[in-house]
Amino acid sequence: MPSQLTSSRSEALVGAVRAPGDKSMSHRSMILGGMASGVTEVEGLLEGDDVLATARAVEAFGAKVQRTGDGKWRIEGAGGFKTPLTVIDCGNAGTGVRLLMGAAAGYPLTATFDGDASLRKRPMKRVTGPLADMGARFGWLAAEDRLPVALTGGTLNAIDYVQTVASAQVKSAILLAGLNAQGVTSVTEPEKSRDHTERMLRAFGAEVGVEEMDEGWKVTLKGGQPLTGTFVAVPGDPSSAAFPLAAGLVVPGSVVTVEGVMLNPLRTGLFDTWLEMGADLTISNRRQAGGEDVGDITARHSALKGVVVPEARAASMIDEYPILAATAAFADGVTVMRGVGEMRVKESDRISLMVEGLRACGVQVEEEPEGFIVTGAPAVPGGATVHTAHDHRIAMSHLVLGLAADQPVSVDEPGMIATSFPGFVEMMNGLGGRIA
């Protein structure tokens, strides 16, 4: 990948492509496969840098991990994690490191977790705090609340944990630790976050309870349940599918289909929002894959209008706000995105970077502590070089913007796109885009 990529105004994008495997499910299939007894076969795994880092970590914890084909992997679990001989380097994978810490906490082992410069800036106490309440011990090796950190696990006790902000990563880490804790572990959320961990735990043989409460949702898991290897078919990632679909919506004359996209209702908030904005978005060939609803989504160039995105929708689309903001730049009127403060502690401060990038491209944007407001127009000037801070979603969102802007848009440090979407440039150019 070059040190800079530039996207230029394109003719109509036309064609059908397949989204990369879902990143959330790919991480979880690797981790649960490593924890389980027996063999787990995975099909459709996302072979991006983040997931490959998780695969190496699972191997370091004692599982046998083998790539058997394109997106096909075999994990032979040892029935539990063992003390690794090396530092667990999770690269840029926030999901990977947090879920791995939860899984490892339940075993009598010691492990040190680290990551790249970006991951070292991300807060970890949201996970290590509840894990410490369960009995795990942590030693910060550089800065408090930041990687690297040493974990000592084993002899955990169940907890009842109440989240103030719905987070699938925190919930999943606690549930994975709860598998090997004494008693029944529960996590209560104000809003229901993505439920891939609950679904996949059931596929590996665990019993997981989900109950709707007066204020939120409660997930319960009894400790001491063994996991058994299984087959996992990973559907297409809706977060990745969002980029070619967004290009289809904003580039005049375009008709873009992305096949095999996961339609889990806790992951389709962006599609719901686009429909409210007037997007010509249709879903066909609905079916089941890997225990999830999937379908083929077609986006046609649309005259979008601004909307107020419900704050309660944030948990179902927190990773999609950057590309929503890019499409909102072309919408008629104001798009209000609030209640998304979680964006500030992702791979970067995504609110600040999207505001900075859109303004550089001539878009009117107002920044707020917990959100931002985009005032769109049919014509976006473009003509800027956008700072991405090594964030793949910031880079891809602005490259999509450049495909319909008046002047080219460049992004720096595009190599991080490979963390979630290897082949992004080739796919977009194959549809007729101009990215180089």
Catalytic residues: 319
Q: How far apart are CA 363 and CA 185, in angstroms?
A: 47
Q: How far apart are CA 417 and CA 400, in angstroms?
A: 13
Q: Look at the block and give the residue holding tokens 């991300």.
A: 122
Q: How far apart are CA 310 and CA 298, in angstroms?
A: 24
Q: What is the DSSP string of 416-433?
A: GGGGT-TTHHHHHHHTT-
Sheet with 184-189, strands from edge to edge, namely 160-162, 184-189, 216-222, 208-213
Q: How far apart are CA 309 and CA 362, in angstroms?
A: 22
β-partners of residue 256 are 15, 299
Under DSSP, the state recorded for 71 is T
For 88, the token pair is: 């667990």
Q: How far apart are CA 262 and CA 260, in angstroms?
A: 7
* Three-state SS at 233: strand
Q: How far apart are CA 130 and CA 141, in angstroms?
A: 19
Torsion of CA 14, 15, 21, 25, to 10 degrees: 70
Does the CA dihedral 378-273-326-249 come out positive or negative?
Answer: negative
Cβ within 8 Å of residue 418, ≥6 positions away: 1, 48, 49, 392
Q: How far apart are CA 37 and CA 80, in angstroms?
A: 8
